[in-house]
Structure 1
């Protein structure tokens, strides 16, 4: 009987820990997949992409990068064309692409 009384609180704690992990989710969803996403505004944060990786994400999204990319304020940015239109493209630390 004493064994059962000791086991119940231990099992209850295991159940609470597991449910807390599934409910909380991720507080910092960085790049989850390789697909580039278009967003209205870039996310602020330190960018760990290399220039080649940033160029690859722009190319994958259909942009032709026409200039050297520079990193400013955590954003990779440069001149690019898509559909005959010239624009400035930016890549944030999450891998999201924005244009101006």
Structure 2
């Protein structure tokens, strides 16, 4: 068998070897990730504190007054900030402005009552 013929047979097999190696699962998932209570800074968190925003239930005023908004570089656009506040149960969200600490602040209504609201870079929502 000639060298060229041998290479033609072996090259496709060699090309498949890296793809097979990529499908191998090794080790266990990492544990002990930071959450919003323990991150102490601008670390990513698993789920932002939007007080039931993920299940479509409106937020309660009491739970939102205890949330501490954190300073940090906020990449949310005004539209994204408005959407997060609305998803947390606020209506008539208006006058949103990002302050020097990177926190979106504005006016809204919750259960028909006026409220001053804030949204930090992690997605935490609070009544001010």
Q: Name the TM tier (shorter chain).
A: 0.5 to 0.7
- Give structure 1 stretches of 5+ with no counterpart: 1-17
Which of the numbers 68, 71, 74 marks the counterpart of 2:98?
71
Matched, 1:91 2:119: yes
Aligned counterpart, 2:30 = 22
> Judging changes above 3 Å, is the alpha-carbon distance between structure 1 residues 24 and 83 closer, same or farther for their aligned structure 2 residues?
closer
Query: How far did residue 34 of structure 1 move?
Result: 7.2
- Structure with bigger RCO (C-alpha 8 Å, 6+ apart): 1
> Judging changes above 3 Å, is the alpha-carbon distance between structure 1 residues 97 and 35 closer, same or farther for their aligned structure 2 residues?
closer
Alignment of 1:16-55 (within 5 A): 22-23=30-31, 25-26=33-34, 28-30=43-45, 32-33=46-47, 36-37=50-51, 38=64, 40-55=67-82
Query: How does the TM-score come out when normalised to structure 2?
Result: 0.53
RMSD: 2.5
Structure of larger gyration radius: 2
Counting strand residues as a fraction of each chain, which structure ranks higher? 1
Query: How does the TM-score come out when normalised to structure 1?
Result: 0.66
- Give structure 2 stretches of 5+ with no counterpart: 1-26, 52-63
Q: How many residues align?
A: 81
Separation of aligned partners in 1, 2:73 and 2:85: 19
